Structure 1
């Protein structure tokens, strides 16, 4: 029975003392989630470790940088034994294959550049795993993600972490307000170096384990081979067309190209060419000079908003991030009748449909995550223009 005391005396902001609460920790087998489990157990919470088995692709089982495969499950089990906490493995392979891997392949067929880590968080991790945690009567689900959350004006908000080098807020923008109320991120204010020190102090076998890498379910890093095997129709050859209409050559399937790509075009035109757009319906790859990559406005679909409510037609200044590896840049967001439109004040290169555009209230560590969406369309027009090509 949970305490009804209103004040909190624990790091997760739950009512009462740690001993009053059962907490599920999503244990991936890596050092971050392992340290979360250790810290919460040390604090006095009743910790239950849960590991998801999401795929088992032969070489991926023992591949350095993989996650949620055979060797990682083994490591999570060893950590749980060391910490003397119960540990469960949930087989979500079919769910992961349908909602993440199949969707990943379909996105490339449409000429998009998907972000599978976001899809995984949206479906398996923060939907199915949360439901399993509630079934166990847990007061919260804790993860090893490098973000933080805290209550402001009566509700929990999401923020960038202390360590910008480990910032994972881009992959968590789709976390709903209801999920934020239940999920906790204990590592948000901690540098990675300290996390590894704690793992060593706890005697965890994963203290020096390498971090997982994207894309976790592609064993050899060649996503195009995997998509070609799943969607062979997307390997049909087609035209490579210049933005001025000239046909310059042939491509080997739209799934092998992404916006901003330069290598592999095999076209000698006397000037550098880049993939500007992929027209999957016409089975064409559109190329042009570097300046053609400059994007000034994006229209977003499947949006999630976490900040102060934004009324239709209202706009506000933001910092926008169009790729996980790029810093947020100044912009302005406006809510339209069917989503969000974002003006990128300095412009961005290589912006592709299917990627996420994540919006922040300010710049730098600790910035509030306002929300975001997936890029549906983009335009090179200046910010004063309203049309989105």
Structure 2
């Protein structure tokens, strides 16, 4: 492996799926005079047909771009680290986000490994976010992209600084997805009008997540729907079929709109309530990760700062403060109540547009 001092600052290894975002990122990097090397991740251990189709899409675009494409089989590590966690979380009645686990442990680790082997200083992806040095945190950090509705900084909050300091995110300044599509179209590339990829890359469009869970041997027994007092209201199909905040598909009537307000995996119970029961002004997060390598920086620097928090990927950030900070957890208090924070999802904290850290909702 090459040392960092010998790496070529004109070379960049780009995660290339064949989608419009990574394609646009490749074009932008090439326009800056960088030698772009594509990297395709083989994650489909279970379905070789899907894998071959996905890889061909990436190779076709690499050929159109005139760049080399490496394929790395990460399927075993992906299965162990990402999919097994995904399956386990659902059996606990939690709602996981596999990208949060994959990015630091699989995707960006592999990008760095290939960059080192290719003597490339930089890595890149098509995420809508920014990577820069923060004077406030005294380290390299992830920041929000220009368009908060498209922003993907939430997905990258657990990246270590040693990855961020070599990371280029060409789409961070883009305000509109149509700009990206037109940019790719103007370069006469064949994928300008392809639809965006689904949120869970290892579940195909024709399957629901519950179909996938059942296919992988994860199913759960029927149990009771209960109200907040424990009164039995009916029978549910198994806890893996439900998530906090869900209304559709419950098959139960309580004389008013019914929502899943809690999941008790130990008792195999789904708690049912009204929409108003889903709102809370505090959450507890654990297994926290901070952009600054010194977690002690957090309470010292940010205890009096105005912070914002996202409780799910597509949520708008909301103003908050830190009510309690320990080695094990953080309690976040919001200025306004938030709807349906789901256990297993990440809560990500921001100061201005800088990611400062986050953790998993309990």
- The corresponding residue for 2:145 is 161
**Cα 1:174–1:2 shift into 2, 3 Å:** closer
Give how far 1:107 is off: 0.4
Q: Does the aligned pair in 2 maintain the 1:176–1:304 contact within 8 Å?
A: no
1:325 matches 2:310: no
What are the superposed Cα offsets for residues 19-60 of structure 1, whole Å, 9 maximum, x if unpaired? 852210110111111122222223222221111111166598
Distance of 2:339 and 2:22 partners within structure 1: 34
User: Aligned partners of 1:276, 1:49: CA distance in 2, in Å?
Assistant: 44
Evaluate the alpha carbon distance shift between residue 313 and residue 340 of structure 1 in structure 2; reply closer, same or farther with a 3 A threshold. Answer: farther
Is contact 1:34–1:76 with CA below 8 Å preserved after alignment? no
Whether 1:125 aligns to 2:107 is: yes
In structure 2, relative to structure 1, the CA distance for the partners of 1:300 and 1:38 (3 Å cut) is: same
Whether 1:375 and 2:345 are equivalent positions in the alignment is no
How do 1:87-98 and structure 2 match up within 5 A? 87-98=69-80
Query: Match of 2:149, SS?
Result: helix
One of 152, 161, 167 as aligned partner of 1:177: 161
Q: Deviation per CA, 1:52-86: give whole Å up to 9, x if none.
A: 1111665983xxxxxxx433322321222223221
Q: Offset at 1:156?
A: 2.2
Normalising by structure 2, what TM-score?
0.89
- Report Cα offsets for 1:341-365 as digits up to 9, x if no partner: 2112211121111011111113xxx
Give the gaps of 5 or more residues in structure 1.
5-13, 62-68, 377-389
2:17 to 16, 19, 28: 28
Q: Does 1:227 align with 2:213?
A: yes
Moved over 4 A (4+): 1-4, 56-60
Q: 1:209 to 1:267 in 2, by over 3 A?
A: closer
State how 1:1-389 maps to structure 2 within 5 Å: 20-55=9-44, 61=50, 69-153=51-135, 155-190=139-174, 191-219=176-204, 220-232=206-218, 234-306=219-291, 309-311=297-299, 315-316=303-304, 317-333=306-322, 334-362=324-352, 367-376=353-362
Give the direction of change, closer, same or farther, for the CA distance of 1:3–1:264 in structure 2 (3 Å limit): closer
8 A Cα contact 1:298 1:342, kept in partner: yes
Residues 3, 303 of structure 1: CA spacing in aligned structure 2 closer, same or farther, 3 A cutoff? closer
d(CA) in 2 for partners of 1:263, 1:212: 24
Question: Secondary structure in 2 aligned to 1:125?
Answer: helix
Moved more, 221-230 or 172-181: 221-230
Relative to structure 1, the CA distance from residue 28 to residue 261 in structure 2 (aligned partners, 3 Å threshold; closer, same or farther) is same
C-alpha RMSD over aligned residues: 2.5
Is contact 2:4–2:121 with CA below 8 Å preserved after alignment? Answer: no
Shift of 1:265: 2.5
Q: Is the 2:348–2:359 contact (alpha carbons within 8 Å) kept by the matching residues of 1?
A: yes
Gaps of 5+ in 2: none
**CA 1:118–1:2 in structure 2 vs 1: closer, same or farther (change >3 Å)?**
closer
Distance 1:277 1:3 in 2: 49
Kindly state the Cα deviation for residue 253 of structure 1 after the two structures are TM-superposed: 0.7
Aligned to 1:385: none
* Structure 1 residues 130 and 329, CA gap change in structure 2 (3 angstroms): same
Deviations 1:269-294 (A, max 9, x none): 21222111111111111112222211
Distance 1:57 1:166, change over 3 A: farther
Q: Distance in 2 between matches of 1:60 and 1:348?
A: 42
Greater mean alpha carbon deviation, residues 296-305 or residues 102-111: 296-305
TM-score scaled by structure 1? 0.83
Q: Residues 178 and 86 (structure 1 numbering): CA distance in 2 closer, same or farther, change over 3 Å? A: same
